[in-house]
Amino acid sequence: MNLTYLFVLIWLAFLISSGVMLFSRGFLLARVSKTETSTCRRLSTNPNAEYVLTDEVVNEIFKDVNASSNLCLPQKSKVIVLVVDALKYEFGLYRANATDPLPYENKLVVLQELLQQNPDHARLMRFRADPPTTTLQRLKGLTTGSLPTFIDIGSNFASPEINEDNIIDQIVKNDLPVVFLGDSTWTDLYPHRFKRSYSYPSFDIFDLDSVDNEILKHLPKELESKDWQVLVAHFLGVDHCGHKHGPMHEEMARKLGEMNEVIRSVVAAMDNDTTLLVMGDHGMTASGDHGGDTDDETNALLFAYSKQHRFYGNDSGSDSEMLQQIDLVPTLATILGVPIPYSNLGLVNFNIVPDLRVPHLNKFQTLLLHSWQNAQQIYRYFFQYALENKRTFNVEQMDHLETEFILLTHRVQTVYNEVAFKSFVRDLNTNLRDILGTCREIWVRFDPTQMSQGLLFTFLPLFFIFLVVNNSRPADFPHIFKAKEVFYVYLINLAAGVFGYRYFKTFSFKTEEQGVIFFTAISSAVILAFHTLRHWTSIATNWSAVKRFGHMPTRLLLFGSMAVFFSNSFVIQEAKILSYLLAAAILLLSHELLRLSARLDFRTKFKASQFLRSTALRLILASVLAICLIRFAYTLFRCREEQGNCSDFVNTGGAGFSLKKPGTGKTYILAVVVLVVYTTLTRLYLRSCGNLTGNLPNVLLARYGPTVASICAGGHILLANSSIKHIQRTHIDAMALVIYGLLLVQIIVLSWAPLMTFVLPPRSSHTVTINGNESIVPEIFRKMKRMYEGDDDERRSHIPVVYGLATVYSSIVIAFGVFLALVMIVLLEPRASIGLVVCVAVGAILLSVHSILRYRTATSFESCVQPTFTALVGWFLLAHFCFFATSHQTTLSQIEWRAAFVGRTTGIGQSNLVSGALVILNTFCGPIFFFCMYSLLSTETFSLFALFPNLIRSCRSGGKVDASTSMSDLANEAVGFDMTRGELSLYEYEDVFLGTGFKLATQFFMLQGLKIFCAMLACTIHCRHLMVWKIFAPRFIYEALATFVSLPALIVGYLLVLRIHRGVDTLIKRINKAKVH
Amino acid sequence: MVSRFDQQKTKHQLFHVSLSLATILICMAYMQYRRNWAHLGSFWDSLVVPIVFLGELLKVVLARFYGKVEDGVLTAKQRQKKNSYFTPRELLGGFTLQFLCTLLYAFICIILGAPVLGNYEQTFVLALLMTLLTVSPTVFLLGGGGALQVCFCEKPDFVTKCEDTALNLFKYNALGGILGAWAGSVVAPLDWGRDWQAYPIPNVIGALLGSALGNIYACTHVLYATARVYMTKKRT
């Protein structure tokens, strides 16, 4: 019976997640990659080759230029490619009269010298990248010449081998040896392609020198070697310096100076037949980061140099100011005499092609052949793609482009002189750029069918959850979700999934996934509708009992948090909006508590002295403290570019770069102090509950584990972020690994023996003593006596006394939360760690205020264990507010990638799965933590009452107080059942408790599902908005990931409650058995 | 038996609501006359606070007028309370209570997002307006001690019938003002670039509009009750 609810939760999580997945497939449409390759017959000047370039061949070519697409002209030169990661365009500019240059200014002086000495042999251009600007995506664009799509962001962890045609494969296939040095991303993308490779992992983004030093060790002898035609070197120091220090740091000056010397030495060592290309794969923001689509991130630098031969000039018709990164691919193919890759969309830029005279051809004939081969390759790819993927492109647009192409094919036959060539090339370039624009527009095209189905299949589970679960009482759940029926539900879904997998084409679905999701969603909706109809009587009865406007203020807060997605301004300022709504939720709880206390405590006359001593004042002060903490978290928020005064993105006149401040020592000290205070307070709380007594495994772990973990976390905070240079990274990693290990041990102990109780051994009757200092033990003793009806003196001496039974559920959840929080703290940066602890404090205050409010308004056990809707929404808002309080922002540039390397800088466990898990844990620490701990909303009322029984006196101060009246009778009179047993009452009413836990989890499912539904709806409404890829799509991606993380976290929270409940059941049975014996 | 229609009470209620709406209309007309709304955050350059203050005073005077007409016989506690209205102790208590409420509202504005180290005048003006809309009418009517009794305890014995009527209407004013000021922040994050989006202009206007809506709701309530009485009488 207990596991039935768990399987229902898993089923509902699957339904919501599959709807979100379906929508994301339609919204973040991927470009279909093709595996065809280009081929050509290479014309050679060697008389003994298979295909020789002669006068007769040239005459044949120009009889029909259209038939020349399978010919390649001879190679022009060898090529050296120096990729300096994150080399920004502004880094290469030279300000002659700079009296006080910035750290990145005027460092690459060799470029300026070469430009001045040999203007015709050197080129400096802007190198425009397509977003997203991560190295992997940029390398794909630089080698395939094709457009990345948004869906490629997901593959950033995987580094899969490229299976499309690309320039590296073309070079290798045409027997041109390639040597590679530097970033191992290249060898991941292109394994076994290089004649020699010296690849080094780009793992440690805080290491500025290792990869570059290794390149410098091997580069000189490779330059002297004669057995390669292409040499590629990828330097990482500038990029890592940007991540660690930002561009406004002396280390950036040092790294750029090093690059300057590298370029100088390469220029000196290269021979006359070599072309040097120096480029950045992307730029960087003012804070040294990249990944998004700002101008700072997409503007890289390209420098080209040829020692002996001049480059073609402006008369070739190519742009001399800006080069698209995809244009590099056909340009390299032209220089090397190899085919242009199949799916290239870039144009040859002749400004960086050496002007070598081809025998038997004049200059413009050469340019014409190159341009026309480029054009024919693009046309072939474009129309083939359109043919195989129907309905991809607009029909009229296709006809227009095809008509222009046909006109150009006729016109190319009549190009006989320079004037005609220039006119033709200009029109040709315009047409090819139109194709590129068409593809750019289309490959972010949205699939309306999948989007609408995703919206529908996300909404249907929410609707039926609201009807079935939210309007039923926990006592009804055993009838609604029977174990056998849940098993049948899984069987039906399995059958529907198999059916969808087999027959997806019959229903015109694009993928098997869509078929599976469609049919499982339909069958599940039918099953839920059946459940609704079958239990409609009780549902309608419960629904009519609810007050019509009972939750109106809280619903307004919920509406406000959902409305954030529909305005780009609200998305930009979401951190402050969430804090505003969260403060309002806390004020609502305080208002209800104050109104209740006023009626009870000050019945006839208001007395200031009585108010100052009352519980209500303390709780109101606690609420004010919580709101002050939320206000303090403003200082921890991270800003984004659209907030006009964002210091991370200021770029006024190039002089506005800001230092990427690593944080002052005070921040580190404050983070460590906050951490120690958190672990100490938690330990004191558990001790006062009696849960740290005895020698059970979880007791020992909770007693000593947080101390060890906080010492390691504090050490890690101080050492990992400091500038001490001689510290061993192995030692820093060991601290993080200790914390990881403690969490694993905690999980193992929870699975094995989760309880934190202590059973006193039985004593003989004449030596029984009660420790007067313990306020809990006498209560537990009397309750145990009354529970087991030990009336006679003989059996009374054998009644066991158990420490910590009053808080048996919440103590284990809190102890687990400590280890989870410490893992997150070590992954977060110091300021963000403060934010996490601040949110934990706000959560504790929220629990306290709500628990007392719940106690004072409860009329039965069920109303005591079921939280109010205001507390539910408050907890939900707090979980998402924690995302911003831990210095995160919903932009792709501001993902904290450094979390993947915490504890792993020595290469331990080089697995992308572990890296992804650590980054997810860092980014979504708020939802994970608060949803794992959601059961505290149910249990905290009981533990607070067990710890502070005098709360009940406030309720009865107006009536006649009789000293002989027992606490049990008072509790019975107040709430209808005996509450003095604390959380042991939850075990007595286990059906209601587990049912309420299930209901609470499904309510959080509804809130999260409603949130992601609004995010998807906003993306649908704004899919043509100017800011959709900057604002709404990243927001949807973050919310989708939060959904995929939150639903499992809620399931983990419920699983934790089930496990504790089984432990309590075992303990009670063991005590019963001992008693009988 | 038919219920006696309380004509005097209905007149009092309608007059009260009309005064509230007239006050807010005068504020809106004044803002329209000034055109530039940046002055709303200035204490000495804006007349909104004096207008609201006078409006509240007029409502209290109205309650006194109807009390004199209708409350012919006062109980001992009511007479004692009335005699002690203008004692220095009561005046000082009332002033202190309003001052503390202004400080409390300023603090709440700051912890809800107002600038901590700036805009003190704007925060003070908003807090003062909130106090005038919520706490001051009750203090003017019953004095400081009476206001605390009414807010936190059961209905005291010294409250007369007309005072009870006014207190019920003050509730709508207060609730509307608070919710309106809170909801006025909705325009702050928008990137429309208008002058009136600056703090505290949306919150001041939100408080006034919220108060107006509260009064309109109260007026609807009164008219509905009156119509029901007439329909009942007609059916009889």
Q: Do B190 and A630 touch (CB under 8 A)?
A: no
Q: How far apart are CA A930 and CA A914, in angstroms?
A: 22
Q: How far apart are CA A644 and CA A642, in angstroms?
A: 6
Q: How far apart are CA A84 and CA A976, in angstroms?
A: 73
Nearest to A163 by CA among A298, A33, A263: A33
Task: Give the count of beta carbons closer than 10 Å to the beta carbon of residue A610.
Answer: 13
CA-CA-CA-CA torsion for B88, B92, B98, B102, nearest 10 degrees?
150
Any idea where the domains of chain B sit in the sequence? Answer: 7-235
SS3 B159: coil
Q: How far apart are CA B121 and CA A1032, in angstroms?
A: 37
State the nearest Cα–Cα gap between B149 and chain A, in angstroms: 6
Residue of A567, A583, A598 with shortest CB distance to B112: A583
* Single-letter code of the amino acid located at B67: G
Which residues make up the CATH 3.40.720.10 domain(s) of chain A?
30-94+107-150+164-444
Residue of A567, A584, A604 with shortest CB distance to B190: A567
Task: Give the count of beta carbons closer than 10 Å to the beta carbon of residue B211.
Answer: 31
Q: Do A606 and B153 touch (CB under 8 A)?
A: yes
B153 in A contact zone (CB under 8 Å): yes
Q: How far apart are CA A985 and CA A942, in angstroms?
A: 8
Q: Which helix (H) or strand (E) holds A235?
A: strand A230-235
DSSP lists the bridge partners of residue A490 as: none
A602 in B contact zone (CB under 8 Å): yes
pLDDT, averaged per 10 consecutive residues of chain A (1077 residues), comes to 81 91 75 71 74 76 74 86 89 79 85 85 85 72 74 41 80 87 84 85 73 88 86 90 83 90 90 89 82 78 87 80 87 90 87 82 82 84 76 71 83 79 84 83 66 89 88 82 85 90 77 84 90 85 74 83 87 88 90 72 63 75 90 83 63 41 69 88 82 79 84 82 63 82 86 76 48 53 54 49 77 89 86 90 91 78 83 93 89 75 66 82 92 89 74 46 54 61 76 88 92 91 68 87 93 90 82 68
pLDDT of B144 over the 70 cut:
yes
What integer best gives the mean pLDDT of chain A? 79
Taking contacts as CB-CB distances below 8 angstroms, the residues of chain B near A584 are 112, 182
Pairing mode, strands A122-128 and A322-324: parallel
- Return the pLDDT at A150: 46
- Return the pLDDT at A230: 92
A286 in B contact zone (CB under 8 Å): no
Residue of A569, A604, A634 with shortest CB distance to B190: A569
Q: How far apart are CA A525 and CA A77, in angstroms?
A: 65
Residue of A576, A603, A624 with shortest CB distance to B113: A576
Q: Is the dihedral of CA A601, A605, A606, A608 positive or negative?
A: negative
State the nearest Cα–Cα gap between B190 and chain A, in angstroms: 5
At B52-83, the pLDDT tens digits run 998 988 989 989 788 877 656 667 777 677 77
Task: Report how far apart the first and last C-alpha atoms of chain A are (Å, whole number).
Answer: 30
DSSP lists the bridge partners of residue A181 as: A198, A233
Q: How far apart are CA A581 and CA A878, in angstroms?
A: 10
State the nearest Cα–Cα gap between B212 and chain A, in angstroms: 19
- Return the pLDDT at A1: 47
DSSP lists the bridge partners of residue A235 as: A84
Q: How far apart are CA A445 and CA A106, in angstroms?
A: 43
Of chain A residues 537-566, which have a CB less than 8 A from chain B? 560
Q: Which CATH class is domain A30-94+107-150+164-444?
A: alpha beta
DSSP string, A251-314: HHHHHHHHHHHHHHHHHHHS-TTEEEEEE-S----TTS--SS--HHHHEEEEEEEESSSPBP-G
SS3 A1029: helix
SS3 A427: helix
> Helix A135-144 to helix A328-336 angle, to the nearest 10 degrees?
50
| Residue in the block written with tokens 């430009």 | A115
Interface test with B, best of A590, A601, A605 (most B CBs within 10 A): A605
- Return the pLDDT at B67: 85
Q: How far apart are CA A634 and CA A583, in angstroms?
A: 13
CA-CA-CA-CA torsion for A1033, A1039, A1041, A1046, nearest 10 degrees?
-170
A630 in B contact zone (CB under 8 Å): yes
Distance of CA B15 to the CA centre of its chain: 14
B197 in A contact zone (CB under 8 Å): no
Q: Do A579 and B113 touch (CB under 8 A)?
A: yes
Q: How far apart are CA A948 and CA A775, in angstroms?
A: 10
Q: Which helix (H) or strand (E) holds A234?
A: strand A230-235
What size, in residues, is chain B? 236
Q: How far apart are CA A716 and CA A729, in angstroms?
A: 10
At A424-449, the pLDDT tens digits run 887 888 888 888 888 876 664 467 77
- Return the pLDDT at B22: 95
Residue of B145, B182, B191 with shortest CB distance to A569: B191
Is residue A824 a contact partner of residue A922, using CB atoms and an 8 Å limit?
yes
Residue of A569, A572, A580 with shortest CB distance to B112: A580
Q: Do B154 and A603 touch (CB under 8 A)?
A: yes
SS3 A803: strand
Interface test with A, best of B117, B130, B152 (most A CBs within 10 A): B152
- Return the pLDDT at A967: 57
B100 in A contact zone (CB under 8 Å): no
State the nearest Cα–Cα gap between A648 and chain B, in angstroms: 20
The nearest alpha carbon in chain A to B182 belongs to: A584
Of chain B residues 176-195, which have a CB less than 8 A from chain A? 182, 185-186, 188-191
SS3 B179: helix
B117 in A contact zone (CB under 8 Å): no
* Single-letter code of the amino acid located at A920: I
At B165-221, the pLDDT tens digits run 898 889 888 989 998 998 998 888 887 777 788 878 899 999 999 999 899 999 998
